[in-house]
Amino acid sequence: MKSKFCLDCDGLSRREQRALCKALGGLAESDAPLLLELVFVSKVEIRSLNARERGVDKVTDVLSFPADNFKAGEPIFAAEHADCVEPSAGKTWRRRGARLYLGSVAICKERAKEQAEEYGHSYRRELCYLAVHGVLHCLGYDHETEEERRTMREKEESVMQKLGLIRE
């Protein structure tokens, strides 16, 4: 029951979106395709979001806004998250191919460029890494404890490997 991922994103080409969705496959189990919104914002916008949503008045690289309280590693069933299923689907979501909305990920492109230079890898790798990191947060993963951090990093690296964007 590995789930298919779909992206709603204007900042990546169709080819990049397909590659990212394919690499994300296997991160979650769901009985419906999983939809994520990926938005690219400026430093001003991400600082404003960070201040408003987290009470932290500073620029950050990525923010995640999960649509529901998804639990890391647990299957996601549309019936248990009915508010997240596309409204047009109604009760016939399976027949219509409706998707289950996981949430939004906001990435600051300027910060991603700075970090790519700082870490000595490509801008593309940094953007993809931040997207994957944000998606994992939407799926309920976190990095507050050492164990959580290790689990999240392993998942991030697995997806990055599938994308052919390993650490150099």
What domains, with CATH codes, occur in the chain?
Answer: 5-162 (3.40.390.30)
Residue 103 burial (CB count, 10 A): 20
Which pLDDT does position 95 carry in this prediction? 45
User: Higher pLDDT residue, 77 or 168?
Assistant: 77
- Is a pLDDT exceeding 90 seen at residue 111? yes
Structure tokens at 148: 């959580």
Taking only the tens place, the pLDDT of each residue in 21-74 is: 999 998 999 999 999 999 999 999 999 999 999 999 999 999 999 999 999 999
Taking only the tens place, the pLDDT of each residue in 3-19 is: 899 999 988 889 999 99
State the average pLDDT over residues 78-87: 87
